[in-house]
Structure 1
Amino acid sequence: MVSAPHPAKPAGTPGVRLLPLFLRNFVRNRETGLVLVAIVVGLLGGVLVAAISSLSQVSHALLFDIPVDAHLSATGVISWQRTLLIPMLGGLVLALIGLYFARRVKGQQLADAIEANALYGGRLSFRGSLLISMQTLLSNGFGGSVGLEAGYTQICAMFGSHVGQRLAARRNDMRLLVACGAAGAISAAFSAPLAGAFYAFEVVMGMYTSAALVPVTASAVTAWLVARQLTHQSFLMVPGFPSPVSVEMIGQTVLIGVICAFVSIIVMLAVAFSERCFQRITVFKGFVRPILGGLLLGGLALLTPTVLGAGHGAMQILLVSNPTWLLLTTTIVFKILASAISLGSGFRGGLFFASLLLGALIGQLYSIVLTGLLPTLALQPGTAAIAALAALGTGVLGAPFSMVCLALEITGDFSVTVGAVVASSVCALIVRELFGYSFATWRFHLRGEVIRGPQDIGWARQMSAASLMRTDFENAPTTMPIGEAQRLFSPALVRQVVLLDPNDAYAGIVPAATLHSVANRDDEPLGSLAQQQDECLLPTTSVREILKAFERSEADVLAVVDRGDSRTAIGTLSESHVLRTYGEELERRNQELFSR
């Protein structure tokens, strides 16, 4: 009796328990199902952002002895002992955590949302993401000059990825759910659902499609509503009357965009320089790096407490007061140094809020300086601050639409938003021309990755020579006479012959057409006809490198060898097969992207 075949199990992540079949089918086959999942991800995101924000406030209150509802960077009554020692203690805690988890997370995918979407089809490590979020919370809680946005985004995107894995979602749907998590995180953090949605499109997905609009927007709005009910906090209050839209206003916002472009490049280079300096400290395998970073940060905080934490309180106080140009200048310089030291020494976090703070202060400084020179032409401080905030955020994050939406949602004023649009556009153009990276892609570049954004290139990397090659190839020793090879390898059955030297190592390829076009050379060795002796592929060679190799060698077929030293032939690869397979896969990915 023949038993009925069992239904095939869906391809999921090992160790992840799948949700019921009817639910998986509903999400895979109906856009409504994906939207409902995005709403759940947004709900989780709003709760998580509110919880992490509250934990940060409580840790600041306990460690620095300030009121729970006070902002750390806006409190000037902290004792010098706490100011100096608490960041050092935070560095020690981070060093111990890094030492404890070094082996336990070894080999796990500790990618952020951008890298996960670019390389891993939206798959994020559950434990690794929890570790990153915990380190970000501790870094901020102990006074590190970093924002919590990296932690928000990491944990919310991870839950989006985890839900997608339990639903056995398609690759593109997985990437979309990661973007939904990131949109909810930014929306809840800044009370800005539009900015959160466009952040997901620009930074986490790298593109906008109509199929992704509703899920991402639903997640952002849900997270915003939940966080607003739980925290009851607004992101920023901008005082004063906005400057009206005019030729002078447009010209000055262009200048602000230019200034912010150069400052954003300086900020990113400062972080990279700080990392290189701290990496030279190899005492106890770098254990002392975050401790030393905490000491330097505490020293800066003794000069001005505005460098502690993300800087929400300092930003609001400086906007509503009338600070001098000297105070603004020193605050800007110290904040850049503090952020570079924090990130370079091993504190976890990002430059999202630091870029907004620096931008607002630069805009305010511009307005104060110009008011002293040309009081009738100078922009209002609030208008200049919002334009520079959006511009510097664009330069660092590479998300102009997200920053413009943030400016609109902060102010609700069209004229201010016009200035933000102009400044952001100018800044984005200059940074792309002179630097070419945002902060996220710059970090990938420093690690040796070629990722320039979140666009999905992981599937292309999975197409390697090992997965494309044919293993049923004909081979012959280089010493075989040509006449014998002509009798042995018929041109109707064999297209090429792979040659092996006396040590069985790869020694070239002889096309069948070349072999049978030779006359009166029956006794000569087959090796005299060898081509591409020095041109071969390794099994891990990516499809793009394979295509470059074909273009460089001008060959139709290349051999694949096991290693560069032994050069044992294990397969052959034709250019026509690579182009056909690559084109078919590219077309399939495009269909998945624009039509579920």
Structure 2
Amino acid sequence: MVLALLVGAAAGVGAIVFRWLIRTFTLLFTGGTDYAGAGRVANPHVPWLGPYFVLFTPVVAGLLYGPLVQRFAPEARGHGVPEVMYAVARRGGRIAPRVAAVKSLASALCIGGGGSVGREGPIVQIGSALGSTLGRLVRVAEDRMRVLVACGAAGGIAATFNAPLAGVFFAMELILRDFTAEAFGMVVLSSVTASVIGRAAFGDTPFLQPPAFHVQHLSEYLLFAVLGVIAGAVGVAFSRILYLVEDACDFLWRGPEWARPAVGGLFLGALLLALPQMYGVGYPVLENAVNGKYAIGFLIVLLVGKIAATSLTIGIGGSGGVFAPSLFMGAMLGAAFGAAAHDLLPGVTGPVGAYGLIGMGAVFAGAARAPITAVIILFELTGEYSIILPLMAAIVLATLVGRALAHDTIYTLKLKRRGIDLDRPAPAAAFEGTTVRDVMEPVPRILPAGMPLAEAAAVLAASPHGVLPVVADNGAYLGVVTARRVAETLSDAAHDDANVTSVSHLPKPVTPDMDLAEALSALVAAEGAGLPVLDASGAYLEGWISHQAVLTALHRRHGDS
């Protein structure tokens, strides 16, 4: 509970700093707080350039964040959420501490310099990195580490959007992908803490101020259903176009990766010159659409423009989220649909803004396949309960359409393209009825807590596992040390006098009575080729499990059959 509160507080402060960075860089690059809503105007810092300064802002921003990302944290490139999902599912929640700092600067520079991306992906990655860093500092087990990562993600969303419930369900539905009472409680604590800090800084008002809304006629629900179906298809189309553009950029680019955002920024700048409403996140434009200030034709132009601008920003190596762009697209689609329906059926349809709000949630649901998060976040962003029934209907239909058109979501597709399938079932059937006790090996050579790293390096070099346990003088288990971590630490001369305790970590605990399938999942996620088997108290070693032991058990079972 204490750790969840600390992570929530850190995520809340991180959200404040991140939003300040975006505002500062936007002021620096454009001379205003939000260029998207200002129209094609000149920058007061360089008035002689007129509106043509937007041709160069993405280039300058790319020259700054491109080398930063390439040198210090390549995982900070892109929209961030898939990297957090992968860390939770496959790496025991381990995220490098530097990701928080690099992601903050890179995304703020990208958005402030005109990148047409959102701030939710960066703040999720920032909060998750803070949670992972705190977990490693206090050396929690991997299952708790995953929960702390989710706490950071929830806190970031809650503080940024003043949406504590949405933060919770975003973390549970997309990051953890597992609803347990303990994890839910910890994530709620973190989200509430971050939200309190965020409200102290940003105020306690809904993110959007929609017009009054009520359903004019029961037949209007048919229009909401149609909008949900169309929005689901648009969400899938956005995710496909996003990665098609990224593939095209990969194919065309032949230079160093650090220069890619700057060179690609020329094309992004040309798009911003033609359509300045695409600059940055674009919330003022979204609000104008919801309030019915744009004609149908221009709404369609903004929808297509946002798909192109966001895809190009990510494709050239930009850093930012896709959640806010999907809300933007939904607002344009919904407002255009509502305006057209109002022209055709004026006696049936309600305000255009209601369709815009429902379209926001439906497009996100179609792209991300997260219906609970979509419903909750639209309700919290607007504070408008009257739209909840049509919103739920449209979001469920959008989710079903998205599932029918594509197996992967906008987040999991990025991982699938790397050969990582988070939905792959665990190989439980092959080991049914087998426990760790049946296959565990004797404990390998142990490393005493005070052993210098130089000595440990020699022992690890002779070990077949690349990982060995660390124990205290009384034989109590303290964690494991991998050859990789020792090598990385020794490469820095400032740590030559360190000992094994300083680089040890606690993988997910494995006990003798655990099912072998569950232990294999922990083994796959761990560093090295082995894991300690602990007694019921988790304080002492009882054995060792390795990939070779699991393979032997599988071979024996197949041989017996």
- TM-score under structure 1 normalisation? 0.68
Q: Does 1:72 align with 2:35?
A: yes
- Distance in 2 between residues matched to 1:572 and 1:414, nearest whole Å: 55
Query: Does the Cα contact within 8 Å between 1:161 and 1:177 map onto a contact in 2?
Result: yes
The change in CA–CA distance for 1:110 and 1:147 in structure 2 (over 3 A counts) is: closer
Partner of 1:367: 338
Please report how far the alpha carbon of residue 71 of structure 1 lies from its aligned counterpart in structure 2 after TM superposition.
2.0
Which 5+ residue runs of structure 2 have no aligned equivalent? Answer: 43-49, 443-518, 522-547
Q: Does 1:168 align with 2:147?
A: no
Look up the equivalent residue of 1:123 and give its one-letter code: R
- Distance in 2 between residues matched to 1:103 and 1:307, nearest whole Å: 26
Q: Does 1:57 align with 2:23?
A: yes
Match of 2:214 among 243, 246, 251: 243
- Distance in 2 between residues matched to 1:571 and 1:404, nearest whole Å: 44
Query: Does the Cα contact within 8 Å between 1:147 and 1:309 map onto a contact in 2?
Result: yes
Question: What whole-Å deviation, never above 9, does each CA across 1:169-196 have from its counterpart, x for those lacking one?
Answer: 2222111111111001111111111111
- Distance in 1 between residues matched to 2:75 and 2:91, nearest whole Å: 21
Look up the equivalent residue of 1:206 and give its one-letter code: R
Look up the equivalent residue of 1:44 and give its one-letter code: A
- Distance in 1 between residues matched to 2:99 and 2:426, nearest whole Å: 21
Secondary structure of the corresponding residue to residue 252 of structure 2: coil
Please report how far the alpha carbon of residue 342 of structure 1 lies from its aligned counterpart in structure 2 after TM superposition.
0.3
Partner of 2:239: 268
Match of 2:269 among 298, 311, 334: 298
Question: What whole-Å deviation, never above 9, does each CA across 1:477-529 have from its counterpart, x for those lacking one?
Answer: xxxxxxxxxxxxxxxxxxxxxxxxxxxxxxxxxxxxxxxxxxxxxxxxxxxxx
Match of 2:11 among 16, 36, 45: 45
Q: Identity of aligned pairs, percent? A: 27
- Distance in 2 between residues matched to 1:402 and 1:386, nearest whole Å: 14
- Distance in 2 between residues matched to 1:86 and 1:571, nearest whole Å: 55
- Distance in 1 between residues matched to 2:196 and 2:81, nearest whole Å: 30
Partner of 2:414: 443
Q: How do 1:76-115 residues align onto structure 2 when only pairs under 5 Å count?
A: 76=39, 77-78=41-42, 79-101=50-72, 112-115=83-86
Look up the equivalent residue of 1:55 and give its one-letter code: L
Q: Does 1:198 align with 2:169?
A: yes
- Distance in 1 between residues matched to 2:551 and 2:400, nearest whole Å: 45
Match of 1:325 among 288, 291, 296: 296
Question: What whole-Å deviation, never above 9, does each CA across 1:565-587 have from its counterpart, x for those lacking one?
Answer: xxxx99972438679xxxxxxxx
Look up the equivalent residue of 1:440 and give its one-letter code: Y
Q: How do 1:33-432 residues align onto structure 2 when only pairs under 5 Å count?
A: 34=1, 36-66=2-32, 70-76=33-39, 77-78=41-42, 79-101=50-72, 112-232=83-203, 234=205, 236-244=207-215, 247-432=218-403
Please report how far the alpha carbon of residue 61 of structure 1 lies from its aligned counterpart in structure 2 after TM superposition.
0.8
Please report how far the alpha carbon of residue 543 of structure 1 lies from its aligned counterpart in structure 2 after TM superposition.
6.1
Please report how far the alpha carbon of residue 442 of structure 1 lies from its aligned counterpart in structure 2 after TM superposition.
0.8
Secondary structure of the corresponding residue to residue 405 of structure 1: helix
Query: Does the Cα contact within 8 Å between 2:82 and 2:414 map onto a contact in 1?
Result: no
Query: Does the Cα contact within 8 Å between 2:371 and 2:395 map onto a contact in 1?
Result: yes
Query: Does the Cα contact within 8 Å between 1:72 and 1:313 map onto a contact in 2?
Result: no
The change in CA–CA distance for 1:176 and 1:98 in structure 2 (over 3 A counts) is: closer
- Distance in 1 between residues matched to 2:291 and 2:82, nearest whole Å: 39
Please report how far the alpha carbon of residue 222 of structure 1 lies from its aligned counterpart in structure 2 after TM superposition.
1.3
Match of 2:552 among 573, 577, 594: 573
- Distance in 1 between residues matched to 2:66 and 2:133, nearest whole Å: 28
Secondary structure of the corresponding residue to residue 7 of structure 2: helix
Secondary structure of the corresponding residue to residue 152 of structure 1: helix
Which 5+ residue runs of structure 1 have no aligned equivalent? Answer: 1-33, 472-541, 545-568, 580-596
The change in CA–CA distance for 1:170 and 1:99 in structure 2 (over 3 A counts) is: closer
Secondary structure of the corresponding residue to residue 54 of structure 2: helix
- Distance in 2 between residues matched to 1:102 and 1:404, nearest whole Å: 34
- Distance in 1 between residues matched to 2:195 and 2:323, nearest whole Å: 18
When structure 1 is superposed on structure 2, of 240-249 and 349-358 the one drifting more is 240-249
Look up the equivalent residue of 2:552 and give its one-letter code: L
Query: Does the Cα contact within 8 Å between 1:180 and 1:219 map onto a contact in 2?
Result: yes
Look up the equivalent residue of 2:38 and give its one-letter code: T
- Distance in 2 between residues matched to 1:286 and 1:221, nearest whole Å: 39
Secondary structure of the corresponding residue to residue 284 of structure 1: coil
Question: What whole-Å deviation, never above 9, does each CA across 1:87-139 have from its counterpart, x for those lacking one?
Answer: 1212222333345448999xxx9983211111011111112343233222221
- TM-score under structure 2 normalisation? 0.72
- Distance in 2 between residues matched to 1:150 and 1:102, nearest whole Å: 15
Look up the equivalent residue of 2:148 and give its one-letter code: L
Query: Does the Cα contact within 8 Å between 1:133 and 1:154 map onto a contact in 2?
Result: no
- Distance in 1 between residues matched to 2:313 and 2:96, nearest whole Å: 25
Query: Does the Cα contact within 8 Å between 2:289 and 2:331 map onto a contact in 1?
Result: no
Partner of 2:537: none
Please report how far the alpha carbon of residue 319 of structure 1 lies from its aligned counterpart in structure 2 after TM superposition.
2.4
Look up the equivalent residue of 2:133 and give its one-letter code: H
The change in CA–CA distance for 1:370 and 1:352 in structure 2 (over 3 A counts) is: same
- Distance in 2 between residues matched to 1:52 and 1:379, nearest whole Å: 38
Look up the equivalent residue of 1:236 and give its one-letter code: F
Q: How do 1:549-560 residues align onto structure 2 when only pairs under 5 Å count?
A: none
Secondary structure of the corresponding residue to residue 243 of structure 2: helix
Name which one, 1 or 2, has greater alpha-carbon Rg: 1
**Alpha carbon RMSD of aligned pairs, Å?**
3.2
Query: Does the Cα contact within 8 Å between 1:110 and 1:129 map onto a contact in 2?
Result: no
The change in CA–CA distance for 1:179 and 1:104 in structure 2 (over 3 A counts) is: closer
Query: Does the Cα contact within 8 Å between 1:197 and 1:216 map onto a contact in 2?
Result: yes
The change in CA–CA distance for 1:451 and 1:129 in structure 2 (over 3 A counts) is: farther
Query: Does the Cα contact within 8 Å between 1:390 and 1:407 map onto a contact in 2?
Result: yes
Look up the equivalent residue of 1:192 and give its one-letter code: A
